[in-house]
Amino acid sequence: MRMGTRTRMTKNTASRPKRQAGRRHPLTAVALITIGLFSTGGVYTLFTSSASAANSTATAGTLEDGGKLFAANCATCHGVNLEGTKNGPSLIGVGAAAVEFQVATGRMPLAQNGPQAEKKPVQFTSDQITALYTFVASRAPGPAIPDAKYLQANGDTAAGAELFRINCAMCHNIAGAGGALTQGKFAPPIGGVSPQHIYEAMITGPQNMPVFNDMNLTPQDKANIITYLKFLDKSPSVAGYELGSLGPVSEGLFLWIFGLGAIVGVTVWLAAKSN
């Protein structure tokens, strides 16, 4: 009986397929994939946490720097808590766009009191400007810095020209050359102005300019207006010398002085020759 059992066991063992030398276990691939996933997730979490911590630190530093700059350069007129004073309006809720526009165009800090703030050389670096508008925007929500996709000047030029004629030309002139307003104020020329500042002016309404929020002009409408203005910057006048692009005023003055002057001169010359 023992010999028969041993013989059967030997036959069964011999009939089993032997695992080839060097062949991996079927679960090895699963184990490797699992290890890879856990490793990747751990590394991603580590770097994400580090980046978030770095961003938080940078934001905190920017806010602190912005607060110091505001206290040193703006609080005298606008109040320590942005509440405004008799010398300057409140900045609560004006948003980052308003601060960036005013400071990055040199209009603020204000050099002297007058009918309106005029453009002048910028007083701060780009990092300082970022710190200032970040600080002001942290106090209350307001218009944010515009999305770069609306500043590419690649919209519909014809639609932008129509929107500009309807909403802007009565103050800024059809060619964007600017114009006089009441009480010593004026609409500045907008030729050569950066797309970001054009957009920010539309959403914040500096000086006497009305605010064109997204209910008045959609972001794409604003992008089309910017496209039209940049088209004007690149396109020469098709009618010859522009005379300041002020329309009938400059043209009439030119004709009055030079045209009428030439007629008078020719008349005097003819009269002197006949004598």
pLDDT at 267: 86
Domain assignment of residue 272, yes or no: no
CA distances in angstroms from 144 to 7, 57, 201, 203, listed in the order given: 88, 21, 12, 9
pLDDT in tens, 112-128: 888 888 999 999 999 99
Per-residue pLDDT reduced to its tens digit, 38-58: 666 665 555 554 444 444 444
Number of domains in the chain: 2
DSSP code of residue 187 = E
Q: Do 197 and 208 belong together in one domain?
A: yes
Residue at 47 is within a domain: no
**Residue 74 sits in a domain of what CATH number?**
1.10.760.10
Q: Are 224 and 163 in contact (CB under 8 A)?
A: yes
More confident residue, 259 or 219: 219
Whether residues 138 and 152 fall in one domain: no
Identify whether 2 is part of a domain: no
- The end-to-end CA distance of the chain, in Å, is 161
Classify the C-alpha dihedral 45-47-53-59 as positive or negative: negative
Q: Is the model's pLDDT at 163 over the cut of 90?
A: yes
For range 72-100, the mean pLDDT: 94
pLDDT tens figures, 226-257:
999 999 998 866 555 566 555 666 667 767 78
User: For residue 34, what pLDDT band results from cuts at 50, 70 and 90?
Assistant: confident
For residue 70, what pLDDT is reported? 95
Q: Give the domain extent around 75.
A: 56-144
Residue 51: predicted pLDDT: 41
48 vs 157, more confident = 157
pTM given for the model: 0.69
Do 113 and 164 reside in the same domain of the chain?
no
Looking at the structure, tell me whether residues 140 and 168 fall in a common domain: no
The mean per-residue pLDDT over the stretch 95-122 comes to 92
